[in-house]
Structure 1
Amino acid sequence: MARYVVHLAFDGDPRRLAARPAHRDHLRRLKEEGRLVTAGPWADDSGALHVYEVADEAEVREILRRDPYTEVNGYEIVLLKEWITIM
């Protein structure tokens, strides 16, 4: 398994806010499955940080493809990078 960090930037489109409940359900399922380590928005709601525990980058991209925020083009990927934790 590998850990990936995803930094997302949000736009001001109100469709993203409408999709928020479904987005959070999606994240909750990933957390229950053990594929999401943690996730949350920046305090100013300009974006979010997600940390995934998955097989590879392709799996992260598939997770993002299925996210309800993707359906409404509610974010831009600023960073998607494998992260090696030491603690």
Structure 2
Amino acid sequence: MKYYAVILTLQDEEKNRSFRPQHLAFLEQMRQENKVVMNGPFTDGAGGLVIYAANDLEEAISYLKQDPYIVNGARNWEIHEWALDTNPNFQL
């Protein structure tokens, strides 16, 4: 399994507000399927970050392209393979 960090930047504020409930429901479903490891908004309102778990980049992009924010043009995206490096002393 590989991890992919997706930066979602605001493209259309009105669409962002309109599709937020569907976006959050999508992320929750992806978490239940173990396809999203973590996600959250940037505190400055510029967008958010989603960490996908996938076998390869193509699979991660296929997940991303199902997000209502992407489908409806509310957000732009940038994706990078991410090497998960955990601190054994850190606890959430």
Q: TM-score scaled by structure 1? A: 0.90
Write 1 or 2 for the structure with the bigger share of helix: 1
State the distance in 1 between where 2:71 and 2:81 align.
24
> SS at the partner of 1:58?
helix
> SS at the partner of 2:65?
helix
State the distance in 2 between where 1:5 and 1:25 align.
19
Deviations 1:4-52 (A, max 9, x none): 1111111243022110001100000000111101001101221101111
Q: Which has the larger radius of gyration?
A: 2
Q: TM-score scaled by structure 2? A: 0.86
In the alignment, what sits opposite 2:6?
A: 6
Aligned runs of 1:31-46 on 2, under 5 Å?
31-46=31-46
Amino acid at match of 1:81: H
Runs (4+) of structure 1 exceeding 4 A deviation are: none
State the distance in 1 between where 2:52 and 2:20 align.
19
CA contact (8 A) 2:70 2:76 kept: no
Gaps of 5+ in 1: none
In the alignment, what sits opposite 1:84?
A: 83
Aligned CA RMSD, in angstroms, stands at 1.2
Q: How many residues align?
A: 86
> SS at the partner of 1:5?
strand
In the alignment, what sits opposite 1:16?
A: 16
